Structure 1
Amino acid sequence: MHYMVTDRSGANMIIEIAEGKLKIYPKAGNAVMTNDPSYESMLKIYDYYKEKDLARNMPGSPHSVDRFMRATGWLEQISPDKMDTIINLVPGKDFAMQVRMSVLSVMRTLSTPFAISTERNPENSTTLWRGISDLKNNIMMFDLAGSPSTVWVDLNKIDFSQGERALSLSDGGIKQGDVTRQFTPVQ
């Protein structure tokens, strides 16, 4: 099992529990993890592909090793700068949104197709949703595989002073874009 914890500075900790043992891997910047094999083994496989120019030789199966290599390879190629050629396609022409959409586009390339049959490969189950947490800007973004749109929530616009409470977006309609103001209290 792998779990990642990230703080606002961009520091990551990948936590691995395997064979009853806990291992922690600190990682700055972009961090990728998949379920299998161990993270240490995955890094060795990554080193092999890196020597072969991962940008030109990304493996393509749904296996976790291949997904790890594709995620890493694509993230290494994402521009760290505002791209004038595409910013007009980004909601609000916002650079932070460009970054979130870039990461989401990588996640989409790694996903198992919607409603795929698992008869031939039971471990290969459908990706139902993808999520992005922008800790710097307090934005949560969700992309549901069964919906034609992506939604996000601006946590800066939610009043948390009332304490814990349940809110819902489940009114049966398809949502898109910023849904922050569309939440309703759960009775």
Structure 2
Amino acid sequence: MTRLRACLFLSVAALAGIASLPGIADACTRVLWNDNGYAVMTGRTMDWPESTEPVLTIFPRGLERGGGKAGAEVIVTDNPARWTSKYGSLVTTIYGIGTADGINEAGLGAHMLYLNDTDFGARDVSKPGLHAGLWAQYLLDNAATVEEALKLFDGIQVVMVEANGHKANVHLAIEDASGDSAIIEFIGGKPVIHHGRDFVVMTNDPAYDQQLALLKNQDFSKPSSTMPLPGNVNPVDRFQRATYYLNLLPKPKGEREAAAGVLAIARNVSVPFGAPYKGFGIYNTEYRTAANLTDKRYYFELSNSPNLIWADLSLVNLDKGQPVRMLNPDNINLSGNVIASFAPGPAPF
């Protein structure tokens, strides 16, 4: 099965059916370009009704972590998860309580996106509890590959958390430097995992198995300039556009073209200012990221800034005992390589 046939799935009838689903949600797109012959590249958008207070943060190895607190609030009272970070990472934090996006020094990437159907299930105190805001960070701290990350789920339970009045109804996309990929969702209290290199695009609702079931309704194996594409901002339309354009990207000749390729798609599926979601109000794209998992380079751009910034994690001393380094990207003077602008600061979690 080609990557295109494994991801693009929508007919006119299917689009109409999904649009009528109650409570269909919003927020974010992830694309993985793992067959370009140059580097494994990934990109995402963050779409949200307010600032998520993003801070670029570099974590060294050897940090003592706890999965039960979100800021000063205790989320998991009984048997919270505890661990020591095995890998250093470069991440974008969310509300100061967790990680929305990032990569680690081994080339694992993790991306937290909204999924309205999320149900983590009843608390099982026999398993260490990890609040959802730290789900991505837990994997970045402890795994080098998708295979390793998936094995970690047997030892923890993800628990719902709320920040700024928003529940963390989230699913997770992960990928590694080999190009392997997985989409992890919790539906009806149970984990549902789609694992394989073909799972390169993720948006939001409906649940991923429903998206894959709709694959048979359309044949996009021969994309052309005359093929009609949906142009709205809902997750179904974004999924289709992202997959269509991902499969048309030309082979990059180097880093600039590789990063530009995934960022071009992220910009294409971004939510313009003022574009409405039915029942959810305005969810503009707040920022976009891209990552070269082969060379451990991380790109970031705010949607209201003309400047793209990046940092090379491979050039940072991540030894145990090194300080946590932080950078507020909301600074119009930042541009290009900003690794020298990171400053030591207290670990946010």
**1:157 positional shift:** 1.4
Matches within 5 A, 1:55-94: 55=224, 56-82=227-253
CA positional deviation for 1:54: 4.8
Aligned partner of 1:130 in structure 2 is: 288
> Residue 77 of structure 1 aligns to a residue in which SS?
coil
How far apart are residue 48 of structure 1 and its match? Answer: 3.2
Q: Report Cα offsets for 1:21-40 as digits up to 9, x if no partner.
A: 31111121560111111112
Q: May I ask how many residue pairs the two structures share in their alignment?
A: 174
What aligned pairs does 1:32-43 form with structure 2 within 5 A after superposition?
32-43=201-212
Distance 1:181 1:122, change over 3 A: same
TM-superposed CA distance for 1:120, in Å, is 6.3
TM-score, normalising length from structure 1? Answer: 0.81
Name which structure has the greater RCO, CA cutoff 8 Å, separation 6+.
2
| Equivalent-residue separation in structure 2 for 1:129 and 1:185 (angstroms) | 23
TM-score of the aligned structures, taking structure 2 as reference length: 0.45
Q: Provide, for residues 105-124 of structure 1, a one-character-per-residue CA deviation record: whole Å limited to 9, x for no partner.
A: 1001111113x265865255
Task: Name the aligned partner's letter for residue 178 of structure 1.
Answer: N
Which amino acid letter does the alignment assign opposite residue 290 of structure 2? I
- 1:87 corresponding residue in structure 2: none
* Structure 2 match to 1:85: none
Q: Which runs of 5 or more residues in structure 2 are unaligned? A: 1-114, 116-170
Distance 1:53 1:38 in 2: 26
Q: Which residue of 2 aligns with 1:157?
A: 315
SS at match of 2:260: helix
For residues 121 and 177 of structure 1, do their structure 2 counterparts lie closer, same or farther at Cα, with a shift above 3 Å needed? farther
Q: 2:190 aligns with which of 3, 10, 21?
A: 21
Kindly report structure 1 stretches of 4+ aligned residues shifted beyond 6 Å: none
* Equivalent residues of 2:277, 2:283 under 8 A apart: no
Structure 1's unaligned 5+ residue stretches are: 83-94
Q: For residue 52 of structure 1, report the CA deviation from its aligned partner.
A: 8.2
Matching residue's letter, 1:12: S
More helix by share: 1
Contact 2:233/2:275 (<8 A) preserved: no
C-alpha displacement at 1:103, in angstroms?
0.2
Distance in 1 between residues matched to 2:312 and 2:221, nearest whole Å: 41
- Which among 255, 266, 288 is matched to residue 107 of structure 1? 266
What is the alpha-carbon distance in structure 2 between the residues aligned to residue 172 and residue 73 of structure 1?
34
Indicate if the aligned counterparts of 2:325 and 2:342 stay in contact, CA closer than 8 A: yes
Q: Between the two proteins, what is the percent identity of the paired residues? A: 30
User: What aligned pairs does 1:158-173 form with structure 2 within 5 A after superposition?
Assistant: 158-163=316-321, 165-170=323-328, 172-173=331-332
What is the RMSD of the two structures over their aligned residues, measured on CA atoms? 2.5
Is 1:48 aligned to 2:217, yes or no?
Answer: yes
Give the match's secondary structure for 1:22: strand
Higher share in strand: 2
Q: Is this contact kept in 2: 1:49–1:57, CA < 8 A?
A: no
Using the TM superposition, give the Cα deviation of residue 175 of structure 1 relative to its aligned residue in structure 2, in angstroms: 0.9
Query: Is the alpha carbon distance of 1:164 and 1:6 closer, same or farther for their aligned partners in structure 2, counting shifts above 3 Å?
Result: farther
User: 2:259 touches 2:290 (CA, 8 Å); kept in 1?
Assistant: yes
Q: Deviations over 1:60-115 (max 9, x none)?
A: 11110110000100100001242xxxxxxxxxxxx12311111011001111113x
